[in-house]
């Protein structure tokens, strides 16, 4: 039986305040941002993105016209395999032009949720959590998105231990949000950002800081 997500998130909001997305919310720009870092992390993607945006306009035609070597050089600050990531960006740009008439966001908004999610998952390295994140923050669907590296937070608080299956943990966390958070964009975006913040700062996957946790009185997890 889950501790109410609404109560947990209210406590986290009291601690962290209102959070803002620190990644692009336009669907195509998010894809590019995601390929700007490897291994993917907020820090790596932000570094690559800063370098890329200093030298290129982030829209499909401009990125396709760029020399692969130039793109790769811009992406080096984001981590490993810059040549592969440059190729991914140009492949995504070409696909958006050919399959989505150059405007991925507009195309997704015209689709039912399941169809839009399936379309995004076809892009390399975009699994269900990434697709849900894009759809939520782009204002396409007020889905109960869960941070891909913080699926454990609500599961730990509500159940004590995570399942061995990532997919089960993701769906369990989604169900908790669906049951306890209004299906509005603002509410579910804040839920996503608060869970990510708490999971990265306090409820870490390894060595969680339970003694510093604002929701420890509601939590069934014992470190």
Q: What is the pLDDT of residues 47-73, one digit of tens each?
A: 999 999 999 999 999 999 999 999 999
Per residue in 124-182, pLDDT tens?
A: 999 999 999 999 999 999 999 999 999 999 999 999 989 999 999 999 999 999 999 99
| pLDDT reported for residue 222 | 72
pLDDT at 223: 63
Kindly report, residue by residue over 168-194, the tens digit of the pLDDT. Answer: 999 999 999 999 999 999 999 999 999
Q: Write out pLDDT tens, residues 70-114.
A: 999 999 999 999 999 999 999 999 999 999 999 999 999 999 999
pLDDT at site 2: 46
Asked whether 144 and 154 are in contact (CB, 8 A), the reply is: no
Position 4 confidence tier, pLDDT thresholds 50, 70, 90: confident
Q: Is the pLDDT of residue 1 over 60?
A: no
Provide φ and ψ at 201, rounded to 5°.
-95, -40
Q: What residues contact residue 140 under an 8 Å CB cut-off, 6+ apart? A: 27, 105, 108, 109, 113, 116, 134
Instruction: Work out whether the CA dihedral 74, 75, 80, 86 comes out positive or negative.
Output: negative
- Cα dihedral 185/221/168/180 (nearest 10): -30
| DSSP symbols for 161-173 | S--S-HHHHHHHH
pTM: 0.94
Structural domains of the chain, ranges and CATH numbers in brackets: 5-20+145-218 (1.10.1670.10), 27-137 (1.10.340.30)
- Cβ count near 217 (within 10 Å): 8
């Amino acid at each position: 039986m889950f501790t109410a997500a609404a109560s947990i998130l209210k406590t986290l909001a009291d601690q962290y305040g209102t959070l803002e997305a620190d990644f692009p919310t336009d669907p195509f720009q998010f894809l590019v941002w995601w390929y700007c870092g490897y291994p993917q992390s907020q820090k790596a993607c932000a570094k690559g993105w800063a370098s890329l945006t200093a030298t290129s306009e982030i829209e499909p035609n401009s990125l396709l016209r760029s020399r692969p070597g130039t793109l790769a050089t811009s992406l080096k600050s984001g981590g490993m395999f810059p040549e592969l990531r440059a190729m991914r960006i140009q492949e995504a740009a070409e696909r958006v032009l050919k399959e989505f008439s150059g405007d991925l966001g507009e195309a997704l908004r015209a689709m039912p949720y399941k169809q839009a999610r399936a379309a995004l998952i076809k892009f390399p390295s975009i699994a269900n959590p990434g697709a849900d994140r894009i759809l939520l923050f782009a204002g396409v669907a007020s889905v109960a998105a869960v941070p891909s590296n913080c699926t454990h937070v609500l599961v730990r608080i509500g159940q004590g231990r995570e399942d061995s299956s990532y997919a089960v943990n993701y769906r369990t966390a989604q169900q908790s949000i669906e049951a306890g958070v209004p299906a509005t964009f603002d509410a579910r975006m804040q839920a996503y950002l608060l869970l990510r913040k708490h999971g990265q700062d306090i409820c870490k996957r390894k060595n969680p800081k339970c003694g510093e946790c604002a929701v420890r009185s509601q939590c069934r997890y014992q470190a």
